[in-house]
Structure 1
Amino acid sequence: MRLNTQIQNLFLEFICFLYILLFVYAAVSKLMDFENFVAQLGQSPLLSPFADYVSFGVIITEFTIAILLSIPKLRYFALWGAVSLMVLFSTYIVIILNFSSFVPCSCGGILEKLGWTEHLIFNAVFVVLGVGAILLKSRTNRILIKLSILILLSISIIVGLFLFSEDIMQKENPFIRRFPQGTAAKVAGTDLKNISYYVAGTEKNKIYLANRLAPLQILEMDTDLKNKRHYTIQLDREDFKFQAVEVRISPPYFYVFDGTVPVIYRGMISDWKAKVISEKKYYFSDIIFMNPELISFRTQKPYTGENIIGIAKGNDSLGIKYNPLVLQKQMDGIFDTDGTMQYSEALHKLVYTYYYRNEYIIMNENLTVAQRGNTIDTTTKAKLKVVKMKQSGDTKLGAPPYMVNRHTTISKNLLFVNSLLRGKYESAAVWKNATAVDVYDISKQTYVLSFYVYDEEGFRMKNFFATDAAIYIISGHYLLKYGYGERIQSKFQ
């Protein structure tokens, strides 16, 4: 009898020693790399909104249980806490592997080298050891019922956090980006030898680049970025005082335009010859060619200069209509409503994204506002210093603007936004060499995920164009191709 008791005590001592070793090591590892630990929690599908609290809570709990396990009189109660904590960790992994939209990085220390499945097995072993120790030390017949309640309660806590976290991320996102694996990565690149190129459009297996310094020169490349051809656009008239000529390609047509003149040419990419289709009917600062007979543009109201969205149907001056309700003024109606305009041919929707606040507007082709969505940052009001010049009456910015969303591009139902703001739990070191692209599903008005576009030879991304197969990026004088992973491909409709 005495021998059995000694063996049981040795077994209990051994299990408690293992738990103390595990919790002390885990807590110290987290403290030594605390910033990374918090960042990893910030990427968790379950714990993102609670990362600040959980990061301290887990470390304190691990140290506390380890101390209590070292005190013989409190060891029994500490074992209950240890088993509960390991059940929490195990349930977290089960949800990550089976119910989460993505799988984040593992925890720190030596355990980081374990995969999630191996980590689950490791935790399960400690749960079994802990339960065995409690059963040996217990003197009540109802111990199994109490253990079952403890395990169910621990599981319920994690499930509740998972459901609550998803609701917060979609409805009250406190500017936490998610960077799951399998989003987008560089698969090809080429040196254009010129920093003036921008992506003008795509067609099947072709990419068309235009040159701001030589606006009538077109560079055609295949999607592997290997083969190239050069074309020269021929205009039927050149008697305009061009200031800012741009090219937009929407196969089988291409368009040449200058909103400051204003004039619009159209031609076929089969011969690269263009004719004037609109001359001095309306000025514009941005334009979208939805189809050969329907154009959307941004212009300014007379007298006030405030931005307004309009549409032009065909070549009929009477077909020009405006909707003053699309853009909502916060300060001056000029800078605070500035932004980018994109068109989803698949959904027949226009999308306008503000530069200086966290909002995008989804419109039908007749400019009726369908929905207003929000980007994940928290800038609801434009942070601008607008001044009016007394002599000229012009409105100008009196300080550098606080830009939120710089570039946008769209493919089908996915809106890609190049954000200039660093989110919560994101590394400052990464932001020195990369820029973030946030992806939104405009059909559901939800944030999907984010990925980084890393600087190419010190050049930051300055222009990009999305298709349903890849996203093409201009960084300095480089053209890059980022291929989509399963996480993005599965979101296309």
Structure 2
Amino acid sequence: MNATIKNSAIQLIAYLYAFLFIYAAFSKLLDYDNFIVQLGQSPIVSSFALVLSILVPFAELLLSLGLFIKRFRLFALYSSMTLMVLFTAYIFIILNYSTYVPCACGGVLEKMNWQQHFVFNLLFVFMGAVAITINSLKWHTFAVVFGCMVSGSLSMYLLYTISETAMKYQNSFVRRFPPHLVDPLNTAELKFNSYYFAGATDGILYLGNTTAPLLVTLLDSTLQFIGTKTIAVSPENPKMFRPQIKIAGSHFYLYEGSAPYLYRGNTNDWKASLKLNDGYFFSQLQPLDSSKVVLRYNDPETAANIIGMVDLSDFQNNVLRPDLLEKQLDGTFDTDGMILTDLQNKSAQYVYYYRNAYVSTTEYLQIKSIGKTIDTISHPDLKVVSLKNSGTKTFAKMPLLVNRIASSDAGWLFVNSQLMGYYEPEAMWQTSSIIDIYNIETNAYLSSFYLDRFDGQQPKSFMVIGTNVYVLGGTQITRYLFRKTLAQGSE
């Protein structure tokens, strides 16, 4: 090849690379906040968002400078092609292995779809290889070009692998938000804000009502009204003040832990018979099946929270586990949290309110796993005082609430976190609530999604059933379709 033509071709390709990198770098830096958020939401490199948000524009500008200087041009071309291979490998993983497709480009490149961007990058990789090859048509040149391609691809794969492991098991409070939820499919007006989820079975949702405690409202899976049922209690309990209802399969439980008492009945006739009316006071109850329930007792001497299981078909199977909850301060406020049960897997979960921890157990309260939520609050910031007149203990100031409400379904844990993670747009926190998803068996963080607020208020509760998410807020109940495969694919 004529030396003049060869030098002109190399110089042209070098300048094209340089102008591309300059444009891309300044696009990122001029919209830096958006760029770092997009990297933080990337399904590939979330864990390295901060480092990459600085390193990538710096590398692009440095290589651009080298491409303009003849003395460093060849080395800059090697490095530029390697960087472009890395970018291309990133897009390849996005298109073939990612559960969702984000956007992390700036300027005019943002107008391309990912397939077009992939082809665009391949073109620049090819031009870089041509420039390097025509500079020196020797066998070792081809080896170096091949080495650049392999090293760029392997670097991205290694980055992806490390980031995935860090996201799931060493997460430093970085969330991912694949488009899990479809816009609300159904909404039903309830007229009152006193409803709560009592349970669901065979496509029927059951709602209890704190102002009409013996009345159960039935909705189908699309939130169409089916009817109401009134529970008949035998024998009647004079201590009944504000009972709660929970439903599992064809059976229901009517209970009041401050009495205490526990009734059980069948949803075929809605007649409840008394099963327990003595023992420790309890503050929470969740059913495991038609005869077993998990309760949170209050120790009569220390007021500490204790988890227990009652088997109404055989009391000899009852279990009391005073050691299940990890005490850090007083065993009462520091272990405060919520009981959940996964009816499909016959397991129980306990999610702490004021720290980033949860525990999962078998139906007989044997520990299966102890997990952490992705925030960094491992010890609750509690200040407790005793009132002089009554001796009652209470908070000296409201503590930082970490996990507010939660739901458990089919081996997955869904937690409404109250804390903002890194690289999250603050505007979303004004209009939405965050739900984080965990695999209970592996304790891996999977991803997160937003739930709309109701007239500025956070949802009162939510329940996940298969691919449906039901949310109670204000005087409405709303159903969302949950794209569960997005989280499954990220495991």
Q: Structure 1 length as normaliser, TM-score?
A: 0.93
Trace 1:150-161 onto structure 2 (pairs within 5 A). 150-161=148-159
The residue that corresponds to 1:405 in the other structure is 403
Which of 269, 293, 303 is equivalent to 1:271? 269
The residue that corresponds to 2:415 in the other structure is 417
Stretches of 4+ moved more than 4 A in 1?
A: 182-185, 315-320, 488-493
Distance 1:475 1:344, change over 3 A: same
Distance in 1 between the 2:439 and 2:139 partners? Answer: 55
The residue that corresponds to 1:378 in the other structure is 376
Distance in 1 between the 2:274 and 2:182 partners? Answer: 40
Gaps of 5+ in 1: none
1:122 deviates by 0.7
1:29 deviates by 1.3
1:288 deviates by 1.8
The residue that corresponds to 1:257 in the other structure is 255
Distance 1:425 1:208, change over 3 A: same
Distance 1:489 1:26, change over 3 A: closer
The residue that corresponds to 2:12 in the other structure is 14
Which of 198, 202, 218 is equivalent to 1:200? 198
1:397 deviates by 0.9
Asked if the contact 1:414–1:492 (Cα under 8 Å) also holds between the matched residues in 2, the reply is no
Distance 1:463 1:410, change over 3 A: same
Asked if the contact 2:39–2:45 (Cα under 8 Å) also holds between the matched residues in 1, the reply is yes
1:280 deviates by 2.7
Distance 1:10 1:488, change over 3 A: closer
Distance 1:145 1:164, change over 3 A: same
The alignment status of 1:455 with 2:453, answered yes or no, reads: yes
- Over aligned residue pairs, what C-alpha RMSD do you find? 2.3
Q: Render the CA deviation track for 1:131-184: whole Å, top value 9, x for unaligned.
A: 212223337552111222222222222122122222222321101112223456
Asked if the contact 2:189–2:475 (Cα under 8 Å) also holds between the matched residues in 1, the reply is yes
Distance 1:186 1:219, change over 3 A: same
Trace 1:162-181 onto structure 2 (pairs within 5 A). 162-181=160-179
Distance in 2 between the 1:60 and 1:317 partners? Answer: 68
The residue that corresponds to 1:302 in the other structure is 300
Asked if the contact 1:183–1:487 (Cα under 8 Å) also holds between the matched residues in 2, the reply is no
1:462 deviates by 1.4
1:226 deviates by 3.0
The alignment status of 1:332 with 2:305, answered yes or no, reads: no
Secondary structure, aligned partner of 2:14: helix
Q: Render the CA deviation track for 1:429-487: whole Å, top value 9, x for unaligned.
A: 11111111111111222222211112234332110112123121112111111112142
Secondary structure, aligned partner of 1:309: strand
Secondary structure, aligned partner of 1:432: helix
Instruction: Write the letter of the residue equivalent to 2:233.
Output: L
Distance in 2 between the 1:47 and 1:351 partners? Answer: 31
1:278 deviates by 1.7
The residue that corresponds to 1:368 in the other structure is 366
Deviates more, 1:385-394 or 1:247-256: 385-394
1:11 deviates by 2.8
Q: Structure 2 length as normaliser, TM-score?
A: 0.93
Distance in 2 between the 1:135 and 1:251 partners? Answer: 70
Q: Render the CA deviation track for 1:49-88: whole Å, top value 9, x for unaligned.
A: 2111110000111111222222333322222221111011
Gaps of 5+ in 2: none
| Alignment: residue pair count | 491
Distance 1:491 1:219, change over 3 A: farther
Asked if the contact 1:240–1:261 (Cα under 8 Å) also holds between the matched residues in 2, the reply is no
Instruction: Write the letter of the residue equivalent to 1:451.
Output: F
Identity %: 36
The alignment status of 1:314 with 2:282, answered yes or no, reads: no
Secondary structure, aligned partner of 1:124: helix
Q: Render the CA deviation track for 1:328-380: whole Å, top value 9, x for unaligned.
A: 11011101101111112222211111111111111122222222111111211
Distance in 2 between the 1:362 and 1:486 partners? Answer: 21
The alignment status of 1:23 with 2:17, answered yes or no, reads: no
The residue that corresponds to 1:85 in the other structure is 83
